[in-house]
Amino acid sequence: MPIPIAYLGIILIWSTTPLAIQWSTQGAGFAFAVLVRMLIGVIVASLLVLIWRIRLPRHKRARRAYLVGGLGLFAAMALTYWSARYVHSGLISVLFGLSPLMAGILAAIWLGERALTPSKLSGMMLGALGLATIFIHGDSLGSAHALAGLAALLVAVFIYSGSLVWLKHIGDDSPPLATTVGTLTVSLPLFGLLWLLTDGQLPAMVPPRSGAAMVYLGIFGSVIGFSLYYYVIKHLDASRVSLITLITPVIALLLGNWLNGEIVGLRLWLGTGLILLGLSAHQWEMLSGLLRSTGKKCKNHHGTDALGPEAFGDSRLPSIPPSKSGGH
């Protein structure tokens, strides 16, 4: 698969996921919607593991990764689906854009990483200012529970970021699709329990749009999106991949406005802009390196190759070994 196609696929999936989450909860309940999504994800991912003959590691480090990933996925997604009923869908993407900032702080505290440069600290401050602007705006988002939804969403982002740092600490090198299967399998019983405790009844009728959103999230959001992301980070440097977190929140806000009638006011755009500016500052070292490398490429090739597939990295699809572990 060409790298540009995979890159654009990630942007499309991540930009549409928040709106799909909100649609999936309409008429079916948030717990039922997330349970169906994860069930579809387990089935699809397991089929791919069988078809591609990818082994499922069961050593201690892999089991720890499955457990941490599953618990983190359950807590983050349960809160995200609950809050999606009360906040604009685009805000889900905007607040999850804070995850690199939160992960940087947690990694410095938990793992002792000394990577908090002045640019990263300034990015965190800008992100916090943007977050404060959005919370101030929360009472005018059209829902009586908007502030509670924003708070739950922020906790979800914190848990998601913490699980990423914890997984990095574990350092499991299992195949990413195998890790996906293990993570989804651990979380599935918890989502089932959540559904039993909050509702426990099958909906009399699932609206077509809600059902389509569940299927889309189960296949694309839970399996294909992750696989494309891992494929891209195998072939691109971190600076190019980090641009995705700067693009998807804006697209998600626009999609929510166009397709869901969500009103995006000036203060919300201001808060989003501050968060994106903070992300840019936080990742400035990588982004500046990208600009320098792109400038050199334009100079060396007289501007003819800068936008070609080679600008995104190697476009050859690597073979997946049936038994050899890989991943991050």
Tell me how long the chain is. 328
Q: Is 210 a member of any domain?
A: yes
- The string of DSSP letters for 198-242 reads HT-S--S---HHHHHHHHHIIIIIIIIHHHHHHHHHHHS-HHHHH
Is 280 contained in some domain?
yes
**Look-up of token digits 């997330």:** 34
Average pLDDT, the chain: 80
In a domain, residue 221? The reply is yes
Whether 53 maps to a domain, the answer reads yes
Q: How many domains in the chain?
A: 1
- The tens place of each residue's pLDDT in the chain, 328 residues long, gives 788 888 899 999 999 999 999 999 998 899 999 999 999 999 999 999 999 999 999 999 999 999 999 999 999 999 999 999 988 888 898 888 888 778 878 887 887 766 667 777 787 788 778 877 777 655 445 566 888 888 999 999 999 989 988 988 898 888 888 888 999 999 999 999 999 999 888 988 999 999 999 999 999 998 898 888 877 877 776 556 767 877 888 889 889 989 998 877 777 788 888 888 887 776 666 656 555 555 555 555 444 333 333 332 333 233 333 333 344 4
CB 115 within 8 A of CB 107: yes
Quick check: is 76 in a domain? yes
Domain assignment of residue 109, yes or no: yes
Provide the 8-state DSSP code for 98.
Answer: T
Taking only the tens place, the pLDDT of each residue in 40-99 is 999 999 999 999 999 999 999 999 999 999 999 999 999 999 999 988 888 898 888 888
d(CA 27, CA 195): 15
Residue 315, in any domain of the structure: no
In one-letter notation, the amino acid at residue 295 is: G
Q: How far apart are CA 74 and CA 37, in angstroms?
A: 12
Domain, as residue range, for 93: 3-300
Q: Quickly count: other Cβ atoms within 10 Å of residue 189's Cβ.
A: 11
In a 10 Å sphere around its CB, with 0-12 CB exposed, 13-18 middle and 19+ buried, how is residue 303 labelled?
exposed
Whether residue 262 lies inside any domain: the answer is yes
